[in-house]
Amino acid sequence: MCLAVPGKVVRWLDREPLFARAEIEFEGVRRVCHMACVPEAELGEFVIVHAGVAISRVDAAEAQQLLHELRSLSESSEEPSL
Amino acid sequence: MKLVDEFRDVAVARRLVEDIQQRATRRWVLMEVCGGQTHSLLRNGIDAALADVVELIHGPGCPVCVTPAEDIDLACQLAQQPEVILSSFGDMLRVPGNAGSLLDAKTRGADVRMVYSPLDAVALAQREPQRQIIFFAVGFETTAPTTALAVLQAERLGLKNFSLIVSHVRVLPAMELLMQASDNRVQGFLAAGHVCTVTGFAAYDDFVGEFHVPVAVTGFEPVDLLVGIRDCVMQLESGRVEATNCYGRSVRRSGNAEAQRVIEQAYAISDGPWRGFGIVPRGVLRLRPELQRFDATQRFGVIESRPCLFNECRAPDVLSGRIKPPDCRHFGASCVPETPLGAPMVSSEGACAAYYRYGGHTATAPLAAK
């Protein structure tokens, strides 16, 4: 139920606050999502979408910083993703 | 998928497992609150990989599991009304109440439809003005903004054929109940990352202070989960106790103000029942008085509930972490996903379903494989 996935904002469709909508791209597939909770989201930015509604703007810099810190922990590996 | 695959990196995950193993001087008991986290932990073999140093017990964060059977019964009965289209999330349709599930009602002829978003149900109400569209609104604070938007849109559009059965629940009051229980074993929490995306995590400061237990706001991918576990273990080993954010790419300390605003416009906090928990103080959301005309129970009348028939199901013990699913004598025998005794075996976030699906395969899970 609380599952949510990140997608990229590719086109705003409606900016009226209660009915705000945008096209969001998930791995090349575009879906119309509701944007009332992320009215400031910008094109090209990632948002986290739950039940058709974007609930958060992704802090990409924070994500990269964490990954950088974690990779410094791990040795280089050719293993695939889980 | 960008921002997902990076957090499934096996090498990083294995290094985090080693790091946690090196830091732990004893075996700590942690609870992951959200059922989505439970499934990810088992799917990736994290529970098995860390078994020597961390016991993971599974929390109440399966919304359909704690939705009162009486609400499901109400939905099933309203679905039988000829003018009604009863809609909800796919998970909710399969959970049995006292007299079957919404899918059972559908096989008896009721018009029951799965929707991806509550806002799809609003669109359905616009397309079918001669029908009454009821959306069965379940879920934690992650989902509450989506159903709040639905009712606020319906109000703005002047829809007279849209209503809600509201069965929303709040996470923090349930965590407080767990900590107050005399048999509580939880020493640290992995808080639900997407709930905190909406609510923020400032509210956990008081919880941490009152119960002296670390809380790490945690995401859902294996690396996210291991970062949260490592943070809890580091806190416990050092004696430090605080609420920390290990899911910073999504969660801000004060949460999402817009999402909180729409929740507050639509809902008020109330005491209310959770399946398996009884009345949880401040544990549910109810429609605000000015939106009562969108309450399906007001529009169609409340139907008397019947006593629970699923008393063989040990969901209350599973949802509070007192037992693991295999400890139940019905698990995998008389209770399987096709013929469940209770909600945790049905839901995609239920702990019993997670053990049934992944529990026998830990040797092949990515992080359990040596």
Domain formed by B65-170+255-300, architecture: 3-Layer(aba) Sandwich (3.40)
CA distance B72 to B254: 34
pLDDT of residue B313: 84
Over chain B (370 residues), the average pLDDT of each successive run of 10 is 91 95 97 94 95 94 90 94 96 89 95 97 98 97 98 98 97 94 95 97 96 97 98 98 98 98 98 90 97 94 58 82 90 87 83 86 63
Question: Which among A5, A19, A21, A37 is the top mutation candidate for probing chain B, defined by the most B β-carbons within 10 Å of its own β-carbon?
Answer: A37
CA distance A15 to B38: 37
Domain around A14: 5-73
Annotate B87-121 with three-state secondary structure: EECHHHHHCCEECECHHHHHHCCCCEEECCCHHHH
pLDDT of residue B61: 86
Contact A71 B12 (CB under 8 A): yes
CATH fold of B5-62+171-245 reads Rossmann fold (3.40.50)
pLDDT of residue A76: 47
- Kindly list the residues from chain A whose CB atom is less than 8 angstroms away from the CB atom of residue B156: 18-19
pLDDT of residue A78: 45
φ and ψ of B293, to 5 deg: -65, -10
**Closest partner residue to B249 among A8, A36, A59, by Cβ?**
A59
CA distance A24 to A29: 8
pLDDT of residue B105: 96
Ranges for all domains in chain B classified under CATH 3.40.50.11750: 5-62+171-245
Write the CATH number for A66.
2.30.30.140
Q: What is the ipTM of this complex?
A: 0.91
pLDDT of residue B129: 97
pLDDT of residue A1: 65
List the helix and strand counts (H, then E) for chain A.
Answer: 1, 5
pLDDT of residue B363: 54
Instruction: Establish if A21 belongs to a structural domain.
Output: yes
Q: Where are the beta strands (DSSP E) in chain B?
A: 28-34, 54-61, 84-88, 112-114, 132-139, 162-169, 188-192, 215-218, 243-245, 267-274, 278-287
For residue A72, the chain B residue with the least C-alpha distance is B12
Contact A50 B34 (CB under 8 A): no
Instruction: Establish if A56 belongs to a structural domain.
Output: yes
B11 and chain A in contact, CB less than 8 A: yes
Ranges for all domains in chain B classified under CATH 3.40.50.11740: 65-170+255-300
pLDDT of residue B321: 85
Token digits of residue B255 = 């949460």
pLDDT of residue A75: 55
Token digits of residue B312 = 């063989």
User: H or E element: which one contains A9?
Assistant: strand A5-14
Give B311-336 pLDDT, tens digit per residue.
678 888 888 888 999 999 999 988 88
| Strand-strand pairing, B243-245 and B267-274 | unpaired
For residue B348, the chain A residue with the least C-alpha distance is A1
Contact A39 B138 (CB under 8 A): no
User: H or E element: which one contains A29?
Assistant: strand A29-34
Instruction: Establish if A15 belongs to a structural domain.
Output: yes
Instruction: Establish if A80 belongs to a structural domain.
Output: no
pLDDT of residue B1: 85
Cβ proximity of B187 and B29 under 8 Å: yes
Instruction: Establish if A81 belongs to a structural domain.
Output: no
pLDDT of residue A22: 98
Cβ proximity of B294 and B316 under 8 Å: no
Give A23-81 pLDDT, tens digit per residue.
999 999 999 999 999 999 999 999 999 999 999 999 999 999 999 999 887 654 445 55
Instruction: Establish if A67 belongs to a structural domain.
Output: yes
